[in-house]
Amino acid sequence: QVQLQESGPGLVKPSQTLSLTCTVSGGSISSGSYYWSWIRQPAGKGLEWIGRIYTSGSTNYNPSLKSRVTISVDTSKNQFSLKLSSVTAADTAVYYCARGLYGDYDYGQDYWGQGTLVTVSS
Amino acid sequence: QSVLTQPPSVSGAPGQRVTISCTGSSSNIGAGYDVHWYQQLPGTAPKLLIYGNSNRPSGVPDRFSGSKSGTSASLAITGLQAEDEADYYCQSYDSSLSGWGVFGGGTKLTVL
């Protein structure tokens, strides 16, 4: 059974860089037709897609965040990471990592982490 | 303002049928991108409910069904049950800039 677990600081100061890691267990991050996504959800609000990385290293980012976001993969640790620079209070949210499956078409994000709350405050 | 538009709320009595709409445009749903639906119970991570417009992952009851036509998609829930009370999100991709993922604003389903 695949499991994803987010980890990282729960509190980040304004203007600093938010860094989160998603550890994948129960399967190899580099095998299969998968992509690995980050999604966030401010309290009481809807989901916002941040970006994804394919096992090939190719990435797609939300245009509204693209200038501040970097998603990378560390296959040796079976992890992928999110870095969001120059954060403000508007970046306060629960951050989820998720696995997506693709083939003839996109099969959606079928496994999700439990989410981790990141608060931006001084 | 979400790229995909959903009604903020819908409601229905147990046993009834409800539908949730997801309206996009020619750069996302209308461009041929598939639509996925997620169910989010309070305090939990979203769960994939429908993928590829109308397919159910293993374990999802056949009371849930999805469809897509033109620039819109719909989620239908029949035989409404109390445990269906949750937030529902549609998701697709947009070709306007590098094929990024887009979500609807979410719909709160209340079982009366």
Q: For residue A90, is pLDDT > 70? A: yes
Instruction: Report CB contact under 8 Å: A47, B34.
Output: no
Mean pLDDT by 10 residues, chain B (112 residues): 94 97 95 96 97 96 97 98 97 83 96 96
Give the nearest partner residue to A113 out of B33, B45, B51, using CB atoms: B45
Name every chain B residue with its beta carbon within 8 A of the beta carbon of A115: 45
Measured in angstroms, the CA of A63 and the nearest CA of chain B are apart by 7
Spatial neighbors of B1 by CB under 8 A, at least 6 apart, are none
| Chain A residues whose beta carbon lies within 8 Å of the beta carbon of residue B73 | none
Chosen for mutation from B55, B93, B98 (greatest number of chain A CBs closer than 10 Å) is B98
Nearest CB neighbour to A110, from listed B48, B91, B93: B48
DSSP string, B20-51: EEEE--TTTGGGT---EEEEE-TTS--EEEEB
Residue A108 to residue B52, Cβ atoms within 8 A: yes
- Using CA atoms, how far residue A58 sits from A15, A47, A55, A79, B99, in Å, is 27, 23, 7, 16, 12
- The confidence score (pLDDT) of residue A28 equals 92
Mean pLDDT of chain A: 95
Q: What is the pLDDT of residue A106?
A: 87
Mean pLDDT value of segment A12-41? 95
Phi, psi of B82 (to 5 degrees): -55, -35
- Selected residue with higher pLDDT from A87 and B3: A87
Q: Token digits for B35?
A: 């639509």
CB atoms within 10 A of CB A81: 20
Residues ≥6 apart with Cβ < 8 Å to A69 = A50, A51, A61, A62, A82, A83, A84, A85
Structure token digits, residue A59: 């990435």
pLDDT score recorded for residue B98: 65
